Amino acid sequence: MEVKPDWLRVKAPQWERVGAVKDILRDLSLNTVCEEASCPNIGECFQQGTATFLIMGPACTRACPYCDIDFEKKPTALDPTEPERLAVAVRRMNLKHVVITSVNRDDLPDGGASQFVECIHKIRACSAHTTIEVLIPDLCGNWPALATILQAEPEVLNHNTETVPRLYRQVRPQGNYDRTLELLLRSRQLAPWVYTKSGIMVGLGETDAEIQAVMADLRQVDCDILTIGQYLQPTAKHLGVQTFVHPNQFARWQALGEEMGFLQIVSSPLTRSSYHAEQVQALMVQYPRSKSAARQTSSESLV
């Protein structure tokens, strides 16, 4: 494997601010994907007082070989107090925008959709002006469960594509590329006022042409926001990095995405799906969506 280049080094954070966020998370017994998935931006995000909350975890029912989230433990029953504790954390951290993600819970009939809904409702009750982004699993193609999440009206529905179709069996063996695209398409049709978002990792052996094809597929299903970032190997037992992509290539994808019509594209080596997610608030001002107007032009429900 290549030596990690200089452009992947991160600045040391101010640990006083990091500690304050960690204290809130520990006090309320909450998990974050920042910690569970060994995100390289954890210092920066915690220093800025933000975090991506991981619900229904930390044990996952899938064993994706790129991901550092634990899949060996048995998932536990959903905690009915978790949504309230999450809402308290959002209020205490004074978050203007919050990202809620989850482990895969294929053991649950609705894939955990009901827990996402409860989290949204509790946050709305505590912090009415906080915008909410949900980064959801594919729910095993349970489209009524997807509709349930969208009916709770998050501002952003995020579902990561992760990699190119050719590498799905290797990188995301329990996932399905076509199902990912269908989830994003159905989200657009079911709730056209919700901004849709997806993310891609690079450096796993994909080609530039394959990345461009995925970008085109995402625009075909009218995906609004795209993130592209460098895959980093969490431990020796995970998939290895094939290539460290140069920042100039990320800049080219950024320019291409803007030409393709993404409302927002964030493309850089350290970009992750929820990195600087609060920037979506500027997008909402620039490209506002009226729910009533969107309903008039939406397609029939597919559920």
In angstroms, rounded to a whole number, what is the distance separating the alpha carbons of residues 195 and 285? 12
Written as six digits, the tokens of 60 are 């996952």
SS3 195: strand
Instruction: Give the domain range for residue 258.
Output: 11-297
**Using one digit for the tens of pLDDT, what is the confidence trace for 202-229?**
999 999 999 999 999 999 999 999 999 9
How many Cβ atoms from other residues are within 10 Å of residue 23's Cβ? Answer: 11
Of all residues in the chain, the percent with pLDDT exceeding 90 is 61
Number of domains observed in the structure of the chain: 1
Residue 4 maps to a domain:
no
Residue 1 maps to a domain:
no
Question: Does pLDDT of 235 surpass 50?
Answer: yes
pLDDT at 83: 97
Residue 119 maps to a domain:
yes
Residue 62 maps to a domain:
yes
CB contact at 8 A, 257 and 226: yes
Written as six digits, the tokens of 9 are 């080094």
Residue 100 maps to a domain:
yes
Question: Does pLDDT of 199 surpass 90?
Answer: yes
pTM for the model: 0.89
CATH number at residue 70: 3.20.20.70
Beta strands in 125-250 (DSSP E): 131-135, 156-158, 195-202, 225-230
Q: Which one has a higher pLDDT value, 19 or 245?
A: 245
Helix (H) or strand (E) run with residue 53 in it: strand 52-55
User: Sign of the C-alpha dihedral, residues 219, 191, 102, 28?
Assistant: positive
pLDDT at 38: 47
Residue 96 maps to a domain:
yes
Q: Which one has a higher pLDDT value, 151 or 232?
A: 151
Residue 5 maps to a domain:
no
**Using one digit for the tens of pLDDT, what is the confidence trace for 148-198?**
999 999 999 999 999 999 999 999 999 999 999 999 999 999 999 999 999
Residue 76 maps to a domain:
yes
